[in-house]
Copies of this chain bind each other. A is one copy, B any other.
């Protein structure tokens, strides 16, 4: 199931417009804040599909029968670009466990590249609700590899894959290579073009550099 939040206008559209804008994005504080708020919005929208149980809560004045979250949430993200959206997710799911994973493009001498995992920190994912977020779903290869690596730590009950901007190609690859039944896809917007260097166009540029500065 694919949910494209940007199809209907909301504050997410406003934040996305600022994140894309090559002048506004020069303000790193606002750029990161926008990714955080977008992480919060995704967290909230995803929470509508989660499991709750009702409990009797003692207020100072009486007893309220109130729903509380019963799923065991794990928030996974891909370094370093995913960190601001992850911060937003964790602002909203403050009791969650967390998984961090880094992947890099290993360029081949003959051209092209492979995605390799280098860092991974994850709890057991058995029976968890896994939410993996990354600002961009470009070729989709990082997300696919991250997913495959993560589920070695146990089988989640359900996985939510979150990206702010996806390419058609990235969505196609995720749908092709990952199991359909257990996975929901949450997107902000879908852009048409993917360059040969796997940049989304019009996209937003390099989310990691814009949030944290260039790396060598």
Write the residues of chain A forming the contact surface with B, with a CB cutoff of 8 angstroms. 6, 8-14, 16-17, 20-23, 25, 27-30, 32-33, 37, 40-41, 43-44, 47-48, 50, 52, 55, 57-64, 66-69, 74, 79-80, 83, 87, 90-100, 102, 118-119, 121-124, 153, 191, 193, 195, 199-205, 208, 212-216
Contacts and interface: CB of A to CB of B under 8 A. Distances in A.
B68 A13 contact: yes
Contacts of A12: 44
Contact of A20 (B44, B66, B83): B66
A68 B14 contact: yes
The CB with the most chain B CB atoms within 10 A, among A58, A59, A100, is that of: A59
Given A13-B52, A69-B11, A202-B63, A29 B22 contact: no
A203 B122 CA distance: 24
Contact of A118 (B55, B64, B118): B118
The CB with the most chain B CB atoms within 10 A, among A25, A66, A123, is that of: A66
